[in-house]
Amino acid sequence: CHLIHYLRLSHHLIVLNYLICTFDKLKSVSSKDINITDAVFDGVEVRVFEPPAKRDERLKRSIVYIHGGGWALASARTSLYNNLCRIMAESLNAVVVSVEYRLVPEVCFPEQFHDAFRATKHFLQPDVLAEYSVDPSRIAISGDSAGGNLAAAVCQQLSKDGHLTIRPKLQALIYPVLQAFDFNTPSYQQNMNMPVLPRYVMINYWIDYFNGNYDLAHSLLINNHTALDVGQALSFRGRLNWTSLLPSSFKKNYKPVIQTTGKAEIIQEIPALLDVRAVPLLAENETLQLQPKTYILTCENDVLRDDGVMYAKRLENAGVEVTLDHFDDCFHGCMIFTIWPTDFSAGIQTRNSYIKWLDENL
């Protein structure tokens, strides 16, 4: 893929997504008990999963789901996410709306956020909820990885929208990516070469999302963009101090990487690095106080582990009820790997725990 990109034949992410979708066509996922339809919500494509109506049942609960893939890969229509949303709809007897937001490199930030926000806000209109027989008081917003990032950002934005009459009851974030401020948290250091999502790959996803230059990757890796002399980052530093936000079991013996002098021009070139719509962990406390009851799933073998743990702590400090569901023996992305030949016990374990929490709280 990178050779093709280097030769300017195509963008490597386009090629990688093509390969993913080609392999995906080899799989068949049954959905005979769930009605699956494609729709457009305020210009954004969505896939809707509806369980059959039950006798004497008026309204169903619902989940808006935003898929992962580094803002660049996968789809609401791939078998992995199709299967997850179908099982959610069946297990919870819920209407699941899976958002098909546009991907990098077709569009970059903030368009993915805008797509997810528009689709979710459209669904929250009373007449749309009535069309799908959804209970307005029992709606969750959820997503995994980059989709967890978008779900958290959408939840924050919805909480500040004074015109909304219906708001989500819950948010459920699966190993979410929530910050680009510090690429040397303990989990980034511990799992820097961990398969599925090594640190350099996550940094490249951020660069692609922001339509930045790969030449900045090393400076980001050593936190030059948030050095002590970078004034734009100063006000955010206290919101992401992992030495106070992480328990000792996660901090282990790792030390903070804080540069004295760095490169302020990085923030000038990519101001989105400090935009809360892209990095929800940097939101102010006043916004966090408005968030709904929250579930956050994290995995030990994941560079993003500490993003989720720190967000859980900040929400908890802001007075939000939070369930942090941590798995010591699991890895990033595991929850969608439940279909042969990638049917891992870690996927079943995390998915069951996630669905159980939704069933008990939604």
**Residue positions annotated with a catalytic role:** 145, 302, 332
Distance CA 155, CA 286 (A): 14
How far apart are the C-alpha atoms of 285 and 296, rounded to whole Å?
Answer: 18
Contacts of 240 (CB under 8 A, 6+ apart): 179, 181, 182, 281, 282, 310
* DSSP reduced 3-state for 40: strand
Q: Are 272 and 153 in contact (CB under 8 A)?
A: no
CA separation for the pair 192, 179 (Å, rounded): 16
Six token digits for residue 269: 């070139």
Distance, CA of 337 to CA of 107 (rounded, Å): 27
Token pair 């891992």 in the structure block, residue:
344
Asked if 300 and 330 count as a contact pair (C-beta separation under 8 A), the reply is yes
Sequence letter at residue 32:
K
Q: What does residue 46 show for φ and ψ, rounded to 5 degrees?
A: -140, 160
Helix axes 146-159, 111-123, angle to 10 degrees: 60
For tokens 């926000």, what's the residue? 117
- Residue type, position 335, single letter: M
> Among 79, 73, 348, which residue's Cα sits nearest to residue 196?
73
Instruction: Kindly give the residue spans of alpha helices, DSSP state H, lying in 69-110.
Output: 79-92
287: exposed, middle or buried (C-beta count within 10 Å: 0-12, 13-18, 19+)? middle
